[in-house]
Structure 1
Amino acid sequence: MARNESAVAPYGSWISPWTAEAIARGGAKLAQPQCHQGRIYWLESLPDQGGRTVLQCWHDGNKSCLTADGYSIRSRAREYGGGAWCPDHHDGHFFINDSDQGLYHCRDGRVRLVTGIDGLRLADLQWDPVRSRLIAVCEDHREPGTEPSSSLVAVDAETGRLQTLLGGADFHAGPRLSRAGDQLAWVEWDHPHMPWDRTRLRVARLDSPGLPEAVVTIAGEQAEAIFQPEWGPDNGLYFVSDRESGWWNLYRWDGGGIEAVTDDMAEFGMPWWQFNMRSWSFSRDRNILAARTADGLWSLVGIGDEGMTELDREWSTIRHVHAEGDLAVMLAGRPDHPLAVVRIDPERGPVEVLASAAAPPGPSLPVSRPESISFPTGDEELAHALYYPPVGNGHQGPADERPPLLVKCHGGPTGATESALDPKIQFWTSRGFAVVDVNYRGSTGYGRAFRRRLYGGWGELDVADCVAAVDYLADRGQVDPARCLISGSSAGGYTVLAALTFTDHFAAGASHYGIGDLFALDATTHKFEARYTQQLVGPLPQRRDLWDARSPIRHVEQLRAPVIFFQGDQDKVVPPDQAQAMADALRDKGIPVAHVLFAGEGHGFRQAENVEAALAMELHFYGRVLGIAIADPPPELRIEGL
């Protein structure tokens, strides 16, 4: 074969160096990078240790792990956790241990239990240097049969004594102490709202022992979604809100009034799924480093007295920004680089990659780069997506063939796709599949109106937008409309099942811990999302008709496409009986079905062997359905009815 000549092979059958094993065992999860006293810290999961999460530290070019064997850092508050560690005033740190949800202190390798009370879950840890204590969100699960209560608490760092500071709301997040320690700011909200719907920003003045005195509401009397309050070096309280323009912009409260820091048809915030999410931070000279998203792509900007300056747009996915003086860090990725902990110069932008979620691809690995597309959908509106064409390692498809298409549905559903290199997407494109990752109506990054567009329309608008993406790409001649597949997790899994049930556009699908019965979800889901489905579909009992009409389990007679289900048996967000009920219904009808239950997994798979198995099984499931001769060795997979 000539040097530049490619082997012609059917799409989907190509041999790929992106193996399921390498992706699973090289795929760490990175979270919560933070600068402190000249060091950069971050959380990193270890897939070869069952997803155990440890605290890593970078200092003067050296990286070290600070978490002792036997501990894993993770909060289970609100099920999604976050804010599970914080530094102290020396060179130690506090953390929540996953197995017992106890609060521990670690310094010089010595670990000490601070407090651990069965039924209490702490998160959003903040150090109070004035009083040598921690401020945290506390979720109390000690009353069986009732929703857990939420409060802000103080924890004595030496004795572990808990003291309730504030409560009364259904949810609290983002407690932040002023620099003098005399004021405490936080965000709160109540059912039926989610934190991206309607919240309140409140401030309490603290007496010298640290107890709240006067409490005032700064913002949120009207419908607005507030995100990440922080006290500035000028003693002003800065926060993100969609209060005026309908876009998440930065604002400042000076103790009297509120003024806009940015006024942009772009977003500086993100949906508050986890505690301690950050999109911006103060750096040196009172300037602000911020992540800004427009048209589905992120960039890093600096904000100062002279306005806003773009520092970088190559890193087009940004999840977390933090700075302290001249040191700054972000969690970011780009189309040719997976999500990474990236050190930033506050004036010049990205400087150095400290850790990557996966190894950056070498020259021998084919990489499909996304094309950002917008396409017409229902009601003369637009939806958006990232389209990845198939790119093989020395392969090309036959001239008279179009590639099969895999439609990806992000979770949430209040969320968005990301443009960072995702080895799991390259797994498909390198084998000859096209992939489209859809930002359906209801996704974030396009303003409040677009974000709320899915309310009342979940199960219809998201499905319509996935179908519209297929039609758009088929009309452009880029994919084979007869070989379209659909895959999604959690809320995206619901979109998968609804699309397979209520449309005939897809040949098969994969539901990863997805939802088939809206009524069962409403009866069993956790407090954080207990009213979310009623926002997305309609209030009960008034719109029971919509719930019935949009629950795939109640319309299995319309479903004709094969489905593979992946589920963790410890999932508290979408319980395992959802997948079991759907699989049983398909089996009874004689529709080809596979049902894979992973022991010890929750809402999302952490163990490398299960991540590997899910990729390999989904590939071979599609190969069986579409009649593609998959090059990879087959896994053990039972497909009933095929």
Structure 2
Amino acid sequence: MKSTEAYGSWPSPIDAALAASRDGRPEYVGAVGDELWWTEPRPAEAGRRALVRRSADGTTTELPAPWNARSRVIEYGGRPWAGTVRAEGGPLIVFVHFDDQRLYAYAPDGPREPWPLTPVSATGGGLRWADPRLHPDRGPAGEVWCVLEEFTGEAPTDLRRVIAAVPLDGSAAGDRSAVRELSDDRHRFVTGAEVSPDGRRAAWIAWDHPRMPWDGTEVMVADIGEDGTFHHARSFVGGPEESVPQVRWTSDGQLLFASDRSGWWNLYRADPDRGTVDGLCVREEEFAGPLWKIGLNWFCPLDNGLIATLHGKGSTTLGILDPETGEVVDIAGPWTEWAETLAVQDSRVIGIAASPRSAYEIVELDTATGHTRIIGAPHEDAVDPSYYPEPAVRTFTGPGGREIHAQVYPPHSPDRTGPDDELPPFVVWAHGGPTGHAALVLDLEIAYFTSRGIGVAEVNYGGSTGYGRAYRNRLRGQWGVVDVEDCAAVAGALAAEGAADPHRLAVRGGSAGGWTSAASLTGTDVYACGTIIYPILDLTGWGTDETHDFESQYLESLVGPLAEVPDRYRDRSPINRTDGLTTPFLILQGEDDPICPPVQCERFLATVEGRGIPHAYLTYPGEGHGFRRAETMISALEAELSLYAQTFGIDRTDVPRLELKK
């Protein structure tokens, strides 16, 4: 029998420390001969990313602290490592070390510590590297080809990006001139170069301000000359209104690419010589996603001509596509979301997947047998899984009858239930991006609330990915309108159907979700309180010189050109709408955030000073955009729960009481 207790007051074994210890996911899986390598988060080690090795016999080791495999190119980073097999001495790995952003070489079977391949620059943010590709037979000593991001001044937008070649002998470790530039810097943004099987051509993706990569990109194709540089670079496919987030060569020299020219990211095959393009599986599903990091991949060709591909509408699965028939055979298993990374070893496909009952883990599909198995970072239940939430995938109706996609996580406990005469509090979660997606996976931060009797609704508001370009484009010029309306519509619908207490609704989000939370609190009367995490609060400041280069002109599409609609920037900004703010709020901010800097929070707080609005502002040294340290995540989660407990009238003594100032 379940005992009856007030919603929000239930005991739970899922505490903040447990949720923090399971934060993050493996990334960037890759094959190096018969080994597999990937990166994994280490929240207890100041949030570093460990580089993990799985040998052929199944043993797993990692490059130990202080090594931190993480790139800062475009601030969100990208693929930070690559590897190759050698005839002697075991594999050779190259990786980007977060602390100095230098590229290092590492022979895991040798006696040496990792040694630097690239120099340090004192200009601006220095030299940064991402999406490396090893070419041991090029140049006198072998080379690694990467994206080079080079600062030319102190401002965050004083930089250039090219594809460059770094010698593997370490001769460029103290000499910038030893780095060969393969491409010119005609484009503001580039990905790493995919080299054709015959070694004669390179293909990569490029785009320019003010477009973001989900707006429009170009596939560049160039000849590789005898001197090892690129010649006759030309735009092959793509354009201002066509997003191509990935390209790959097939074994016979055809070019595979994902494009949303149909209104959905579908797969195509092109012949670079004849200029022909064929759709391989054109249907209303996404076979790719937004290129937030350099070097993501959603598909990978196999040696037998088939293509391993991630696809779906909303949630994703792994399938094997026959390019000759267009048929896709999907993997069997419980996974509902696959990370944007795939690797191939012979007939095996390796990816990273999660489900509502399991965190992200390394999954192998043997295409010869159809069998799957977990081979790395296996999910382990640290508590009784009966405390996990039980989500429902919902489609709500918004203004004008538009569809709004969401995942609803009602309060859930195996041994507690709420009183018959009480409706539960609910928190609406707005994801970041805003060109992003809330995935249907086990998240112990959500379970932290639902197991205590507080519901959570993750809203994939208009502008989210996973539902086609038209759904994504709903946010064009409408940021701060559509996202706010869609979140409010979901909250209102849950209240109207008797699933949520209309007087105990909250909103929370980080980054762009922090913007939506703040805009919701200052522009609607739906919520009783809100949590605002490393947010954007002042569009005019953020759209000029208060963010990094990658997103410095993002608002041109989300809001409109600043020179043409300055009033829109001013009127939508929460910092200029605090007269509509009457409810308690909590702001959580990293002190070293280059994307959403603390100055925006400080100006916002100055406008509410002395207004009698209960609020708290917690800052965390050493944290950037996205919290990675266990102690930070524990503090932030407990503070958030305390805010809801105080606002909703819930008695909780198991977390420190958040001091709310007025």
State if a TM-score over 0.5 links the two structures.
yes
| Residue pair 1:11, 1:404 contacting (<8 A) in 2 also | yes
State the secondary structure of the residue aligned to 1:482.
Answer: coil
Give 1:221 deviation, angstroms: 4.0
- Paired with 2:471 and 2:573, the residues of 1 have a C-alpha distance of 24
| Aligned equivalent of 2:46 | 50
Contact 1:30–1:357 (CA under 8 A) maintained in structure 2: no
What does residue 262 of structure 1 align with? 281
Partner of 2:252: 234
CA distance in 2, matches of 1:569, 1:509: 21
* Offset at residue 475 of structure 1 (A): 1.9
Alignment of 1:248-259 (within 5 A): 248-255=265-272, 256=274, 257-259=276-278
> 1:554-587 CA deviation, whole Å, 9 max, x = no partner?
1111111111000000000000111222233233
Q: Distance in 2 between matches of 1:521 and 1:86?
A: 35
Which among 271, 287, 298 is matched to residue 279 of structure 1?
Answer: 298
The amino acid of 1:114's aligned partner reads L
2:554 maps to 532
Distance in 1 separating the partners of 2:3 and 2:331: 42
- Which of 217, 231, 236 is the matching residue for 1:213? 231
> 1:12: which partner in 2?
8
Point out where structure 1 has 5 or more consecutive residues left out of the alignment: none
Deviations 1:67-106 (A, max 9, x none): 1432111111100001111003421200011111111000
Does residue 484 of structure 1 match 2:505?
yes
Residue 316 of structure 1 corresponds to: 336
Would the aligned equivalents of 1:15 and 1:631 in 2 still touch at CA under 8 Å?
A: no
Q: Provide the secondary structure at the position in 1 that maps to 2:423.
A: coil
Task: State whether structure 2 residue 76 is matched by structure 1 residue 80.
Answer: yes
SS of the aligned residue for 2:182 comes to strand
**1:347 CA drift (Å):** 4.6
Code of the aligned partner of 2:129: L
1:21 aligns with 2:17: yes
Q: Deviations over 1:143-172 (max 9, x none)?
A: 234521111111111123211111210111
Whole-Å Cα distance in 1 between the matches of residues 382 and 461 of structure 2?
A: 29
Classify 1:558/1:198 alpha carbon distance in 2 versus 1 (closer, same or farther; 3 Å): same
Which residue pairs with 1:375 in the alignment?
Answer: 396
* Pairs within 5 Å for 1:77-226: 77-90=73-86, 91-107=91-107, 108=109, 110=112, 111-118=114-121, 119-131=126-138, 132-145=142-155, 146-158=157-169, 159-160=171-172, 161-166=178-183, 167-221=185-239, 223-226=241-244
Instruction: Measure, in 1, the Cα distance between the counterparts of 2:127 and 2:41.
Output: 24
2:312 is paired with a residue of what secondary structure? strand
With over 3 angstroms needed to count, the CA separation of the structure-2 counterparts of 1:536 and 1:175, relative to structure 1, is: same
> Offset of 1:512 from its aligned partner?
0.7
Write the letter of the residue equivalent to 1:398: P
After TM superposition, give the deviation of residue 66 of structure 1 in Å. 3.6
Distance 1:633 1:433 in 2: 15
SS in 2 for 1:375: strand
1:46 positional shift: 1.1
Equivalent AA in structure 2 for residue 163 of structure 1: R
Q: Bigger shift: 471-480 or 10-19?
A: 471-480
Letter in structure 2 aligned against 1:510: T
Task: Report SS of the residue matched to 1:588.
Answer: coil
Amino acid paired to 2:153:
E
| 1:369-400 Cα distance to aligned partner (Å, 9 max, x none) | 21111111112211110011111141000011
Say which SS state the counterpart of residue 228 (structure 2) adopts. coil
Post-superposition offset of 1:183: 0.9
Q: Relative to 1, partners in 2 of residues 1:571 and 1:457: Cα closer, same or farther, differing over 3 Å?
A: same
Please, what is the CA RMSD of the aligned residues?
Answer: 1.6
Contact 1:46 1:53 in 2 (8 A): yes
Contact 2:32–2:85 (8 Å) recurs in 1? no
Q: Distance in 1 between matches of 2:370 and 2:401?
A: 39
Equivalent positions of 1:241-640 (< 5 A) are: 241-243=259-261, 245-255=262-272, 256=274, 257-294=276-313, 296-304=314-322, 305-306=324-325, 307-312=327-332, 314-319=334-339, 320-347=341-368, 351-356=372-377, 359-360=380-381, 362-363=383-384, 365-522=386-543, 523-634=545-656, 637-640=658-661
Q: 1:350: how far off?
A: 6.3
User: d(CA) in 2 for partners of 1:490 and 1:328?
Assistant: 34
Q: Deviations over 1:258-287 (max 9, x none)?
A: 111111100011110011111111224121
* Aligned 8 A contact 1:587 1:640 in 2: no
In structure 2, the CA distance between the partners of 1:365 and 1:17, relative to structure 1 (3 Å rule), is farther
Find the counterpart in structure 1 of residue 175 from structure 2. none
Q: Tell me the distance in 2 between the aligned counterparts of 1:19 and 1:459.
A: 33
Sort the Cα spacing of 1:595 and 1:355 in 2 relative to 1 into closer, same or farther, 3 A. farther
Deviation at 1:351, TM superposition (A): 2.2
* Paired positions, count: 634
Distance, in Å, in 2 between the alignment partners of 1:214 and 1:48 is 49
Q: Is the 8 A contact 2:215 2:240 kept in 1?
A: no
The whole-number CA distance in structure 1 between the counterparts of 2:519 and 2:648 is 21
TM-aligned CA deviation for residue 240 of structure 1: 0.4
TM superposition shift of 1:196:
0.4
Greater shift, 410-419 or 468-477, is seen at 468-477
Report the CA distance between 1:364 and its aligned residue: 5.4
Alpha-carbon separation, structure 1, partners of 2:24 and 2:562: 41
SS of the equivalent of 1:302 reads strand
Letter in 1 for 2:149: E
Q: Deviations over 1:51-72 (max 9, x none)?
A: 1111111124533334143211
The runs of 5 or more residues in structure 2 that have no matched partner are 173-177
Question: Alpha-carbon deviations, 1:308-360, whole Å to 9, x = none?
Answer: 11223621111122213223211110111011222222355562223448633
- Higher mean alpha-carbon deviation, 580-589 vs 608-617, is at 580-589
Matched, 1:65 2:61: yes
Whole-Å separation in 1 of the counterparts to 2:424 and 2:368: 45
Query: Which stretch of structure 1 is more off in the superposition, 397-406 or 82-91?
Result: 82-91
CA distance in 2, matches of 1:98, 1:222: 33
- Tell me how far apart the structure 2 counterparts of residues 223 and 597 of structure 1 sit (CA, whole Å): 40
Would the alpha carbon gap of residues 331 and 350 (structure 1) be closer, same or farther in structure 2, given more than 3 Å must change? farther
**Amino acid paired to 2:197:** R
CA distance in 2, matches of 1:221, 1:497: 35
On the 8 A contact 1:492/1:514 being kept in 2, the answer is yes
Which region of structure 1 is more displaced relative to structure 2, 518-527 or 362-371? 362-371
The answer on whether the counterparts of 1:202 and 1:217 sit within 8 Å (CA) in structure 2 is yes
